[in-house]
Every structure is written in structure tokens, then in C-alpha cells.
Structure 1
Amino acid sequence: MSKPIIALNADFRVAAGDKPAVSYVPAGYYDALIEAGALPVILPPLEDQQDLDQVLRMVDGVLLVGGADLDPRRDGWMLHPAVRPLAPRRETFDRLLARTVCERRIPAFGIGLGMQLLNVTMGGNLFLHLPEDLPEALPHNDLLDPAHRHTLELAPGSIMDRVYGDGELRVNSRHHMAIDELADCFRVTARCPDGVIEAVESTTEDWFAMGTQFHPEADTASALDLRIFEEFLAGVREHAEPMRLVA
């Protein structure tokens, strides 16, 4: 059986001084996909919808990677002082990619910012700064402990339950934004004990999509976290008609 081809978006850094503009992806994302049995393909920040459509016809799924913060002004909100917006070129492409993925029901996995983007694209919204929006919440971005981890409360029968139900349950946490209002097409499958949403899955019958607020690809992840990527690829194989066959 051929390996599924998974497209990844990339972070973007603008040119500065004698340093050229670059796109880059932390190796953990594509290393995890390769180890789980996929062939990753990194996408540049395309501007033309037809170009993106052509590329997506050649892949079986999309992984939306983490990064800085979505600019809330693009969704009609004010800019909070704690928000660190993405490079505009990346955010413009990410939103185009996410909208296309959602409209075409392409299998998707969003991590960190990627999960937040899927939720916003489908009509949800975000807490802009947890220490202010949920002052009673646990620290989700501990500057004194980059390896900070917390437990999860799992929804029975969910992908997260299959991954962690019988294992040690502590995941990394390094974010200050999070899902507030959940889009109607998703259900919560894991929460931090303080109630912050940590994982979601699509409830749409013809769309396999999932997301985690934590980072199963990171150096601070556990060996058990790799199973999330295996579950994603299993869902791609089971639920998706290969995108390359779509006209």
C-alpha cells in the first residue's frame, strides 16, 4: 500500500538586513509523519487559489502546524497586547489553506495554532490571553519551565481516548491563546482539568479532522504522543477519497 501524502504549511520569516526571507518547519512535524508512515510535503505560502487547488489534488491530507498567534483583527476583534501575530504573508496563506481544506473536506490535523485556525475558520472564536480571560486556569505557558506538562480529561470513545486511555496522561503546554467558542462542526475530546480545550474532532460525517492544542511533535512530547499521528493517518486512509482523484 502506498504511503499517504500529507501537506504541511510552513512558518515564514520576513527579510531583515542581509538575511533573506525564509520559510521553515520545525523538524518534529515531518519526522513524526515519516515515523508514522506518511510522506510529508511542505507548502510555500501560495497566493493563487488555483495553484493551491492543484497542489491539494495531489495530497491525501493536510497538517496545519503551530506558530505564533492569529491576528484577531482579521476576525473583527481588537489586538490584545499579548498577541504575537504571525507574519502577514504566512497568515494570509494559512487562512486560505484552512478555508480550502474545510470547504473541500480534506482530512486535516491542526496542532496548536493549527487547531485554533480550524476552529476560527469554521465559525468559532478564541480566548486571546488565558491569564486574563480565564484567570483561574492553570499556567498554560510557564516561562520558567518550557517542559511544563499537565493532565487531560478525555471524552470516551474519542481518538484521544484511544491514544491515552490506558497510558500515562501528561501533555506539554506552551500557549496563551485557546479555543473559547467551539465551532458547531467540532466536539471537544480532551480538556485540561481547568476546562481549557486541548483536543477536538470533526462531527461532520464526510470530513475527518482533528486538532490538539498541545504539541505531540515537540521535543517535550512523549513516545505515546506519536500514536496521535498514527491515528491521523489511519483516519486519512479510512475516511478520505484520495485528493489526487478529485477533479
Structure 2
Amino acid sequence: MTCKPLIGLNADFRAAARTTPAFAYIAQGYYQSIINAGGVPMLVPPQVDEESAHRVLDACDGFLFIGGADLDPRNDGFMLHPSVRPMDAGRETSDRMLMAEIAERRMPVFGIGTGMQLINVQQGGNLFLHIKEDLPSAVPHFDAQDTNHRHTLDVEGDSLIGRVYGDGEIRVTSRHHMAIDEVAPGFRVTARCPDGVIEAIESEMIDWFAMGTQFHPESDAASALDIRIFEEFVDAVRAHAGQAVDPESSEFHLVA
């Protein structure tokens, strides 16, 4: 039988309004992409204590951090820029707690959008708070009228992203106004927009599969190549869990 790895996904959070209760939620593209890639998604609402977070991660083989609103730069010692729209404080606290434990465990992790930025800042990097001001010559990376706004991508061939996309012109879905400035130690840039904005990072540490994309391979406009990023991630999670593909069959077997 096929042994599908269990992948945790953090959920976003919306506070109660006058006519609606508070609720946790996640866009379908994230968990559907994990399902399509052969994993089992487990949705994780914001946790209120470390013990709960540890129990969640005990059950997971890997973790996907989704996108969303902005990380609050004050949590990393920077001032709040007027353009920043911080995510729910409870979600950010939970995400940072989960990410710290994931890094400690060297659990395979993939971050998308804000999720990539979280990996970077938790590991010692930092962010541009507003591309229009910090990189005024950059092309647009956000279009309020088009959630599937796309731009081209330059990739490093000797990387997971390079293996996925190969040669030729690449276009990806992009919707962000913050971006990585200094890359965290132990990571390297594996894709940029032609304007220089960092669009993907990967761990160079031999004991940790960790990667992030600023662009959104789970979006409605995703291509078949975009979906392969999730397949690579799920394969890495499966390998980390001590499983390998039998080349003579479609089954997965434990590695002794």
C-alpha cells in the first residue's frame, strides 16, 4: 500500500465581526496541491501554547506555511511601515512558535509568500517592507485588481526550482509588496524576478530540507510545472520519513 506523508498546514485567522463569528480558514489551493502531490494535509489552526504545537508537529512528517497578510516588522526590531497590514497577532505568534520548533527538529518545510518570509526572518534574515520604496525600479509585484498577476522568473539551474522549471521563459503568479532583503544564513537564492526581487530560497544545510517561494504555485493560474514544486516537496518529506520509492512499482517501502 502507498504510505502518504502527513503534511501540516497553518491556517489563517479572522476575528469576529458584527455579523460573523471568528474563524480559521485556508485557501483551497494549498491543501489541494498537497493532495494532488500525494500527501495528506492536516490543517492547523493557531495554537495557544508550545505543548499543543509540539503535539501537532509530533504527528506531522512535514509542514507547509501558507501566505497571508504581513508579518509585523516590530517583532523583528523594525518600525511599522504605513504600507504594512499585519496579520492577526495570534496567528503570527503561533506561526513563529511552530517555525522555531520545525527548525529545531529539522522537519521538512515549505513556505509560500509570507510563509517564505517567515522562514527567512526566523532563521536570521530580514525583509524589505515595501518594494515600491525600497526597490523603486522593480516591476509591479502586486495588482489589487488581479489576484493572478504574473511576472517572469530567472532561476538557478542547480536547484530544486531549476529542476522543476528547466530552461525557457517562466512566468509565475505574484502578489506581494514585501520581499526578502538579507537572506538567512544557511540559505541561498534560487530564483529572482528579472528586477532582482528574490522569489525563491532553498536550504544549503545537508540535514534540513527547507525552501520557500515568494510566488504562489498553488494559485488558480498555476501551471503543471508549478504543481511539480509540491511533488518535489512531498517526495522530500517522504524521504525524510524513512521511505523510498520502489522503482519496480508504485508502492513506497520503509528503508532499513
Q: How high is the TM-score relative to the length of structure 1?
A: 0.94
Aligned position for 1:211: 212
What is the DSSP-based 3-state SS (H/G/I as helix, E as strand, rest coil) of the residue aligned with 2:139?
coil
Aligned position for 1:221: 222
Separation in 1, partners of 2:144, 2:49:
39
Question: What is the RMSD of the two structures over their aligned residues, measured on CA atoms?
Answer: 1.3
One-letter amino acid matched to 2:177? H
Aligned position for 2:86: 85
Does the 8 A contact of 1:128 with 1:176 survive in 2?
A: yes
The alpha carbon displacement at 1:47 in A equals 1.4
Name stretches of at least 5 consecutive residues in structure 2 with no aligned partner: 244-256
The alpha carbon displacement at 1:220 in A equals 2.1
Aligned position for 1:149: 150
Does the 8 A contact of 1:172 with 1:221 survive in 2?
A: yes
Does the 8 A contact of 2:12 with 2:45 survive in 1?
A: no
What is the DSSP-based 3-state SS (H/G/I as helix, E as strand, rest coil) of the residue aligned with 1:57?
helix
Query: How many residues matched?
Result: 242
Separation in 1, partners of 2:240, 2:206:
9
What is the DSSP-based 3-state SS (H/G/I as helix, E as strand, rest coil) of the residue aligned with 1:31?
helix
The alpha carbon displacement at 1:144 in A equals 4.5
Aligned position for 1:130: 131
The alpha carbon displacement at 1:145 in A equals 3.9
One-letter amino acid matched to 2:49? D
Separation in 1, partners of 2:103, 2:176:
24
The alpha carbon displacement at 1:241 in A equals 5.0
Name stretches of at least 5 consecutive residues in structure 1 with no aligned partner: 243-247
Aligned position for 1:22: 23
Does the 8 A contact of 1:6 with 1:62 survive in 2?
A: yes
Does the 8 A contact of 1:207 with 1:239 survive in 2?
A: no
Separation in 1, partners of 2:178, 2:5:
31
Separation in 2, partners of 1:128, 1:117:
13
Separation in 1, partners of 2:169, 2:218:
17
Instruction: Kindly provide the CA deviation profile for residues 4-27 of structure 1, in whole angstroms up to 9, marking residues without a partner as x.
Output: 100000000011113111000000
Separation in 2, partners of 1:217, 1:156:
22
Does the 8 A contact of 1:206 with 1:239 survive in 2?
A: no
One-letter amino acid matched to 1:136? S
One-letter amino acid matched to 1:154? V
Q: How high is the TM-score relative to the length of structure 2?
A: 0.91
The alpha-carbon distance between structure 1 residues 133 and 237, as it changes in their structure 2 partners (threshold 3 A), is: same
Aligned position for 1:200: 201
Does the 8 A contact of 1:106 with 1:240 survive in 2?
A: no
